[in-house]
Structure 1
Amino acid sequence: MPESDAFDHDAELAACAQGDQGALRRLYEREGRYLLGVALRIVRDRSTAEDVLHDAFMNIWTRAATFDARRGAGRGWMYGIVRHRALDAVRAGARTVSVDEDQLDTLADEVPAAPDMAEAFAVRADLGRLDDCLSRLDTPKRNCVLYAYLDGCTHNEIAERLGAPLGSVKAWIRRGLASLRECLA
């Protein structure tokens, strides 16, 4: 991801809230390809990821006035919107595509090159291990961990989404993370 200190996401979001379309364009030019990568990793389909990105930027435009820099960074707020939209697309039955080796190579060519190829391969291997470990968790634990870390939900929000007691949600997250640590060790 690009360095964020030379670019003021918060100011650009404030400009969007004032109706400055150029600010939205600058945000898209700065973060669009990275946000597309986030969506693509979740939905696993290029066309769906592009739709998610479009919807997310429409949401960023219409909700820019609700952004509050005291609650977090503008850049993180944008990434949260994309993650949320992508997860919504998956939950809504968006098509999931298995990626074969040729498609994986094509996707790797579209992502900006990592400075250290050994590190990039290690990250890819770790993501595969993480996916395998997540699939071993029972459904409530897995959903709680994903809601918390991909969707950025609070414990209360997760409890509301799942219709489960708050204490259960906290326990599921704690046990789920412990299981993931053990699996990844």
Structure 2
Amino acid sequence: MTTDAHHAADTFDYERALQRCARGDRMALQEIYRRESRHLLGVVLRIVRQRQQAEDVVHDAFINIWSRAEGFDATRGSGRGWIYSVARNLALNAVRNGAREVSVDEETAEALEVRQAMDAHSQTVDAFALNASVGRLNDCLARLEPGRRNCILYAYVDGCSHGEIAQRTQTPLGTVKAWIKRGMHTLKECMG
């Protein structure tokens, strides 16, 4: 990626693109798809663990993004974050609804539990409780060794694959996987 292309990605206005989707501008949805579909697929694939199902979930996520764009509220979070939460929620629902059909390994199960706890906290109506939960998550993240914390954030916020994280951090792939697994276990215990 050239410096100009990287800079252009950094300045993409997700909030404006979602507003355009809400007004029926299909080009805005195509721009979001072009920028995020690969990363969303990585995030979803780590949850559902089956390529075809992950592709289906990403497809459904873009349908939801299109149909629910007018419900996006910039005062409650970033546009990119909202896009990822739509995809993650659909992936979690797919795993919950098809639990007998989908094999979930221990690492994914732990990640699902942490994600479900985060989702439950984010759906809290009480602003004080929500702030306390976010504060607790931040405290738990702050307790992690920086390498583990960064790997978890790259995986679950940026949607990077383990290989991409290894490249970004110049860390062996096995170490990245171990850090994420141990870090997620520590977070799960901390969030208790």
- Give the TM-score normalised by structure 1: 0.60
Tell me by how many angstroms 1:128 deviates: 2.9
- In structure 1, what residue type is equivalent to 2:95? V
Q: Secondary structure at the match of 2:61?
A: helix
Q: Contact conserved, 2:166 with 2:176, CA < 8 A, in 1?
A: no
d(CA) in 2 for partners of 1:22, 1:113: 34
d(CA) in 2 for partners of 1:90, 1:63: 22
> Does residue 142 of structure 2 align to residue 129 of structure 1?
no
Tell me by how many angstroms 1:6 deviates: 1.1
- In structure 2, what residue type is equivalent to 1:73? S
Tell me by how many angstroms 1:66 deviates: 0.5
Aligned residue for 1:96? 102
d(CA) in 1 for partners of 2:104, 2:68: 34
Tell me by how many angstroms 1:67 deviates: 0.5
Q: CA 1:6 to 1:80, structure 2 compared with 1: closer, same or farther past 3 Å?
A: same
Q: Deviations over 1:8-49 (max 9, x none)?
A: 000000000000001000000111111111100101111111
Aligned residue for 1:54? 59
Tell me by how many angstroms 1:120 deviates: 4.8
Q: CA 1:48 to 1:114, structure 2 compared with 1: closer, same or farther past 3 Å?
A: same
- In structure 1, what residue type is equivalent to 2:19? A
d(CA) in 1 for partners of 2:75, 2:173: 34
> Does residue 85 of structure 2 align to residue 80 of structure 1?
yes
Matching residue within 138, 163, 177 for 2:190: 177
Aligned residue for 1:16? 21
Among all aligned residue pairs of Structure 1 and Structure 2, give the percentage whose two residues are the same amino acid. 45
What are the residue-to-residue correspondences of 1:100-115 with 2, within 5 Å? 114-115=167-168
- Give the gaps of 5 or more residues in structure 2: 1-5, 106-160
Q: CA 1:48 to 1:130, structure 2 compared with 1: closer, same or farther past 3 Å?
A: farther
Tell me by how many angstroms 1:127 deviates: 2.3
d(CA) in 2 for partners of 1:9, 1:113: 27
Relative contact order, higher structure (CA 8 A, sep 6+): 2
Q: Deviations over 1:119-161 (max 9, x none)?
A: 6543211223356x38xxxxxxx9xx6xxxxxxxxxxxxxxxx
d(CA) in 1 for partners of 2:166, 2:57: 23
- Structure with bigger gyration radius: 1
- In structure 2, what residue type is equivalent to 1:126? W
- Give the TM-score normalised by structure 2: 0.58
What are the residue-to-residue correspondences of 1:21-36 with 2, within 5 Å? 21-36=26-41
Q: CA 1:65 to 1:98, structure 2 compared with 1: closer, same or farther past 3 Å?
A: closer
Q: Contact conserved, 2:61 with 2:86, CA < 8 A, in 1?
A: yes
